[in-house]
């Protein structure tokens, strides 16, 4: 059903985004990767994915904090691959600090990349999906779209915003064959999570091992990190026909965190 669909995944040269891209590639989608990175590494990644899954793999290095570059990326995707069927908004950054010490530039960057970028991609992609009367928009939010944690004011605000954006757009396009959902992973041991561990340790005055044990996994009753593969599998399900009646949903995948 997804064979030869075109899927654009933002923030997809590593971590959760790459896992989702691999999942859609395995399902036969042509894919567009996006994120900053070493050009040689990205070229090798594109070639490996294309060879492994026998698909087309494009890349766009659009800066997700810039609306003009995002709009150009959507236009290039249409021009290069003939359309855009599946949009996965995954790009995100993080910074950890008390709110009264939170750097303004970090706040602005997190809101721009974690929230505003999803608005800009959706705004540009919807006309293409409406023409086909089919589309899937999957926003990778976070358990922090549902609950808060200290020292993450910008991230929590952005992810709560993604949840609201998801519901609003889902209602607007509900009769046009387009679904819009958000998935809310708990802690996945990606580079983004690994990078915030030292800052959290400093903010809380504890060791990095204690951060993993008493801060990260303490929130998840399973006491296990969510895997990239699990997030990719949920994304694939939401893109499939069996999920055609699921829209406007904010779906946790976080080991029971938000059940508490």
Active site residues: 155
Residue of 100, 63, 58, 112 whose CA lies nearest to 83: 58
DSSP symbol at 216: I
Calculate the alpha carbon distances from 254 to 30, 89, 105, 148, 186 in Å: 29, 18, 29, 14, 4
What lies within 8 Å, CB to CB, of 66 at 6+ separation is none
Maximum Cα interatomic distance, the chain, rounded to a whole number of Å: 54
Distance in angstroms (rounded) separating the CA atoms of residues 236 and 246: 13
Structure tokens given for 139: 């926003």
DSSP secondary structure string for all residues of 133-193: T-EEEEEE--GGGTS--TT-HHHHHHHHHHHHHHHHHHHHTTTTTEEEEEEEE----SHHH
* Beta bridge pairs of residue 250: 182
Instruction: Report helix, strand and coil shares of the chain as percent, to nearest 5.
Output: 55, 15, 30
Distance in angstroms (rounded) separating the CA atoms of residues 59 and 90: 15
């Amino acid at each position: 059903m997804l064979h030869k669909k075109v899927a654009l995944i933002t923030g997809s040269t590593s971590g959760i985004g790459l896992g989702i891209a691999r999942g859609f590639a395995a399902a036969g989608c042509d894919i567009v990767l996006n994120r900053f990175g070493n050009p040689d590494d990205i070229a090798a990644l594109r070639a490996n994915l294309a060879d492994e899954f026998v698909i087309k793999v494009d890349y766009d290095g659009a800066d997700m904090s810039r609306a003009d570059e995002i709009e150009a990326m959507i236009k290039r995707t249409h021009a290069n691959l003939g359309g855009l069927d599946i949009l996965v908004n995954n790009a995100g950054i993080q910074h950890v600090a008390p709110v009264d010490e939170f750097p303004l530039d970090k706040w602005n960057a997190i809101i721009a990349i974690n929230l505003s970028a999803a608005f800009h991609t959706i705004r540009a992609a919807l006309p293409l999906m409406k023409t086909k009367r089919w589309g899937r928009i999957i926003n990778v939010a976070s358990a922090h779209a549902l609950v808060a944690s200290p020292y993450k004011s910008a991230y929590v605000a952005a992810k709560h915003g993604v949840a609201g954006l998801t519901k609003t757009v889902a209602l607007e396009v509900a009769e046009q064959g387009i679904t819009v959902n958000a998935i809310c992973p708990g802690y996945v041991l990606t580079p983004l999570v690994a990078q915030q561990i030292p800052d959290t340790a400093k903010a809380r005055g504890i060791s990095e091992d204690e951060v993993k044990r008493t801060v990260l996994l303490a929130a998840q009753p399973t006491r296990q990190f969510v895997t990239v593969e699990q997030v990719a599998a949920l994304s694939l399900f939401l893109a499939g026909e069996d999920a055609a009646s699921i829209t406007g949903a904010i779906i946790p995948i976080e080991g029971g965190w938000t059940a508490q």
